[in-house]
Structure 1
């Protein structure tokens, strides 16, 4: 049993208090706000590095989730999410080397947040 399955089974008996989309949206919102704030301050690299690391962790979790065969999202969406996770990993390295700016990462997160909100509106 992998870590994701163990976590799911540990919480399987408790009733969810918020819909998964809301939890995902909130995670993106918190990280994106910190990433955006750190990017615009321009003077506090440690805060930017922490925000970049947290953003990368989020995208790594998403990539692991969509790589799971049991994920119920359409294959095309799973592939796009996996691609974005790969792009995020590559672009984060560039930002940390001061070879790129984090704005693309912020824009990607904002687009995902809009998609999550649009999915809520469709319900």
Structure 2
């Protein structure tokens, strides 16, 4: 199972958070994903913007990891484990991007899958 599949599963399997929380998560991920895409399209000249977007994406995934690690989190254990795995993947892959050893596409794909899971009726932006 790849990171994209796990990301899609992670948010499409449950709806235990409120719509307001899901909407906030959706908007945060959508904004940072848009910035990642925009910087990536620019290539080398867009690297400073890519670094900024990657930093914000890391902060977002760190917040998700902290949230699902909380004993008060009501998501099922399996889903929490999948989200934690995605947070770890995002951290590690971001380091590889910054070192020039990987591309940003997998990070964008994970975020897009999460967006689809958070908004299953509509397409992710």
TM category (shorter chain) comes to: 0.7 to 0.9
1:22 aligns with 23
Measured in 2, the distance between the counterparts of 1:44 and 1:36 equals: 10
- Residues 35-55 of structure 1 show CA distances to partners (whole Å, capped at 9, x for unaligned) of 111111112211010000000
The higher radius of gyration belongs to 1
What residue is the counterpart of 1:52 in the other structure? 54
1:1-123 counterparts in 2 under 5 A? 19-42=20-43, 43-118=45-120
The TM-score normalised by the length of structure 2 is 0.79
Compute the RMSD of aligned alpha carbons.
1.4
Task: Give structure 1 stretches of 5+ with no counterpart.
Answer: 1-17
The match for 2:4 is: none
Query: How far apart, CA to CA, are the structure 1 residues paired with 2:92 and 2:63?
Result: 16
- Runs of at least 4 residues off by over 4 Å: none
Unmatched 5+ residue regions in structure 2? 1-18
Q: CA deviation at 1:119?
A: 8.0
SS of the equivalent of 2:103 reads coil
Q: Cα offset for 1:95?
A: 0.2
Counterpart Cα distance in 2 of 1:76 and 1:102: 27
Q: Which has the higher contact order (CA 8 A, sep 6+)?
A: 2
- Report how far residue 106 of structure 1 moved: 0.2
